[in-house]
Amino acid sequence: MNMIRGILFFVAIFLLFEFVAAQGGKKQSSKNDKEPDRQICITFDDLPVVRSHDRLDRMMITDQLLYYLEEFKVPAIGFVVGNNINDDYDLLEAWLKKGHSLGNHTHSHPDLNSVPTELFLPDITRGKDAIEGVLIAFNQKRRYFRYPFLHYGPTFPVKKAVRDFLKAGVSVIVPVSVDTDDFVYNLQFERVSSQSDSINIIKVCNEYLDHILRQIVDAELLSDKLLGRPVKHILLLHANRLNSHILGDLLLEITNLGYRFISIDQALKDPVYKIEDSYLGLKGMSHLQKLERTNPDLLPAKEARK
C-alpha cells in the first residue's frame, strides 16, 4: 500500500489547503494564533462484521481493524447488530479487551422510516439485551445507540417516541458528523478482490480514500458555515473487508490532515450534538447536514459556539 500512501499524502495536503483557502474572507490569523485543534472520533457500524463473511473472514477482519486502531492509538466505538453476532462473542470481547467501546445498533437493523414504532422499539431492546452481558463483564458503564441507516423517523411523533424510549433506557444516542457511504466502495472492493484484480483493487482503494478525505473537508466547511468553528467530528465506517484492508492508510491520511483521535465521550461533549434538528427527509445524513436543512428558528447556533 506504499503507492497509495504516497498518492494520498499529496491529496491530503491539497484538501487541507482547499479548506484553508475557502476561509480566505476571514480575518487573517496573527503569529500568536494557534492552529485549530482538529479532533475526530472513529466509529464502526454492523459489528462484529458486516454479514456475508464466514468465521475465518470475520476473525481476520476484526483482527486487522483492531491492529490498525492500536497502531495509531485510536479509541474507537463499534455498534453491534444483535443478529450479526452468530455466537461470535469472542469477536466483541476482542474490541473490549483493546479498550474500545460497544454500542447497540438494534437486533435486526430495521429501517425506522418504514417500520412501525411498535416493532422498532422491541428491536432496540433485543439488540441491547444481546450485548448487555458482555458489557457488564467488561465493566462498560455507558450504553450507546446508533440508528440504522441514520434514519431517525419520518415524523416528529415517531422521532420523539424513539428518542424518549432511548432516554428512558439510559442510552446515549451517537450521531455522525462525517458520513462516508463506505458500503458502496466495499461492494466494489469485494468484486475486484474476488477476481484478484490488483490494478482495480488499488484504484478502488485510492478512490475510497480520496472520497473520505473530501467528506471530512466538506464537514469542516459545513461546521464553519453553521457554527463558525471546528467541531469534534464523528466519522462513520463499517466493519467490512474494505476498511480492514485500508484502515491503516486512512488513519495515516487523517493524521496528515492535522487531526487527533478522540473517544466518543470526548466527541459528544461538543455542544453541537445537543442541538435539535427538524429534518424529516427520508435520506440518512450527518448531524451537520440535518442542521443545515433545519428551520433557522430551531437552530440555536450561538449556543454551540461556547
Cβ atoms of 103 and 134 within 8 Å: the answer is: no
Q: What are the φ/ψ torsions at residue 116 (nearest 5 degrees)?
A: -60, 150
As a whole number of angstroms, the distance between CA 85 and CA 93 comes to 11
Encode pLDDT of 241-298 as tens digits: 999 999 999 999 999 999 999 999 999 999 999 999 989 888 999 999 999 998 766 5
pLDDT at 182 over 80: yes
Cell digits for 262?
Answer: 478522540
For the chain, give the number of residues. 306
As a whole number of angstroms, the distance between CA 37 and CA 82 comes to 36
In sequence order, the β-bridge partners of residue 39 are 232, 260
% of the chain at pLDDT higher than 90: 78
Encode pLDDT of 96-131 as tens digits: 999 999 999 999 999 999 999 999 999 999 999 999
As a whole number of angstroms, the distance between CA 163 and CA 172 comes to 10
Mean pLDDT for 167-191 is 95
What is the rounded average pLDDT for all residues in the chain?
89
Structural domains in the chain, sorted by start:
42-304 (3.20.20.370)
> CB-based contacts of 250: which residues, under 8 Å, 6+ apart?
209, 212, 243
- Spatial CA neighbour of 237 closest among 12, 72, 49, 6: 49
Cβ atoms of 166 and 173 within 8 Å: the answer is: yes
pLDDT band at 5 (very low <50, low <70, confident <90, very high): low
In sequence order, the β-bridge partners of residue 235 are 42, 178
- pTM of the complete model: 0.88
